[in-house]
Amino acid sequence: MSIDELIDNFSFLDSWEDRYKYLIELGSQLPHISDELKTEEWKVPGCQSQVWIIPHYEKAHIYFEGDSDAIIVRGIIAVVLEIFKDKPAQEILDIDVEEIFDKMGLREHITPNRRSGMLSMVDKIKYYSAKSLGK
């Protein structure tokens, strides 16, 4: 799914309740990571729930998998991972995630703690991307 499709899907939904249901649906489709990988190394600091983001480096691209112990947060992870899916590291660093979140209405409708956690996930992904470029 492209970023534009993701934005369209959120804008198509009339109520925030429907958007929450969509987030939960996206989270339910996210594969769980194994318990062995749920370590401090992959844990995202700054999240109220437990969140893990794991990078996988392949040539010029970085692929991520993520998981959480909270249903809505799993949906947020699914959105964040979809935004960065199939992108080279430099493009990941250049993406204005705040603008995308605004277009989806996520900034104004999720709690401040979840928003902070969402930005922590983005920071972690951008950290791994910068690291892969030697920055």
Q: End-to-end CA distance of the chain: give it in Å, rounded.
A: 29
> What's the pLDDT band for 1 if we cut at 50, 70, 90?
confident
Report the predicted TM-score, pTM, of the whole model to 2 decimal places.
Answer: 0.90
114 in active site: no
Please report the domains of the chain, with CATH numbers, ordered by start residue. 3-132 (3.90.1010.10)
Cα angle 2-6-8, degrees, rounded to a multiple of 5: 115
Q: Note the pLDDT tens digit of each residue in 36-73.
A: 999 999 999 987 889 999 999 887 678 999 999 999 89
Q: What is the β-pairing status of strands 51-58 and 61-68?
A: antiparallel
Which one is catalytic: 44, 47, 51, 76? 47
CA distances from 78 to 58, 59, 60, 122 (A): 20, 23, 22, 12
Q: Name the DSSP class of 88.
A: B
Q: What is the pLDDT of residue 50?
A: 93
Q: Is the dihedral of CA 53, 64, 76, 103 positive or negative?
A: positive
